[in-house]
Amino acid sequence: MSNQERAEHHQGGVYSSKGNLFERDTRYITTRIVRQPTPGQDAVAVEPGRYRLIAAKACPWANRALIVRRLLGLEEVISVGMPGPTHDADSWTFGLDPDGLDPVLRIPRIKDAYLARDPHYSRGITVPAIVDVTTGKVVTNDYAQITLDFSTEWTEFHREGAPDLYPEHLREEMDAVMKRIFTEVNNGVYRCGFAGTQEAYDAAYDRLWTALDWLEERLARQRFLMGENITEADVRLFTTLVRFDAVYHGHFKCNRNKLAEMPVLWGYARDLYQTPGFGDTVDFQQIKEHYYVVHTDLNPLSIIPKGPDLSGWLTPHGREALS
């Protein structure tokens, strides 16, 4: 496995380069955590205090889970462990914690929890992952389902006034919007960054900007992706947008323009960033350290850029006028 492959082995899926194109291995552990598991269902029961979310702030896929947990007020019932911003070819590690051990699981790397579940586990050691504290075993790393289950299966423990992030009457349209965001934007920036040929990069670049222009137009007439209220769709888009100027614009060569040069998307992203649960789960230094240190094929000397100036995230956005 090359350095480039290793760089993607732990972040949302396994990188592969068939035909010099970026592909993401989406074979996850699909065990779910639900209110009432049914016979034959690959699921365990919701139980406060039993599960620990492992989610690195640097990773956009893990950042989603941190945001949803915070928005729904699940902090008291689902604990969180945070690996450092970088990892080696083996696993994310808990280097930010005392003695390099997660203080609850008492392990130095998340891979240990994967191997506790399956000593022969051979897929990606990814975050986010949810670990059963009572057994030390990973329950699931299916990041898309994790946040949907937080919204729909943990409702008994939501804070008063928590948003409905996956409203039933919008699900059909939401699912289509989120699918396009995943394929064209969340994954699109990686398709640009890890393109193996000029032709692959050119095609990926065009796809990405077609999608971003579509979003600029959609959000010009409504405050959030599905209307007046924040939903799961906004969470999924935000974690890519918040990394765009700091990382994807330069590091992944997604450089037609910066996010800050797209008036609608820039205002929308700031609106979310200034909403409790979004900006307070973002750490720009960890984000930059992760991408510029781990992706050694793209940045062989692991030099972390000092810029760009990120102070604009707290400036007025004016999006309230659309509500």
The answer to whether 209 is annotated as binding is no
Task: Please provide residue 252's backbone torsions phi and psi, each rounded to the nearest 5 degrees.
Answer: -100, 5
Catalytic site residue from 59, 268, 273, 292: 59
Of 3, 125, 146, the residue nearest 67 (C-alpha)? 146
Of 233, 239, 232, the residue nearest 282 (C-alpha)? 239
Structure tokens at 83: 């690996």
Across 127-284, the runs of DSSP E, i.e. the strands, are 129-132, 137-140
Across 92-240, the runs of DSSP E, i.e. the strands, are 129-132, 137-140
Q: Are 163 and 229 in contact (CB under 8 A)?
A: yes
| DSSP SS3 for 38 | coil
Catalytic site residue from 190, 205, 268, 273: 190
Q: How far apart are CA 248 and CA 187, in angstroms?
A: 11
Q: How far apart are CA 168 and CA 231, in angstroms?
A: 11
How many C-beta atoms lie closer than 10 Å to residue 217's C-beta?
10
59 is catalytic: yes
DSSP string, 102-145: -TTT--SBTHHHHHHH-TT--S---BSEEEETTTTEEEE--HHH
- Point out the residues that are catalytic: 59, 190
Binding-site residue set for glutathione? 92
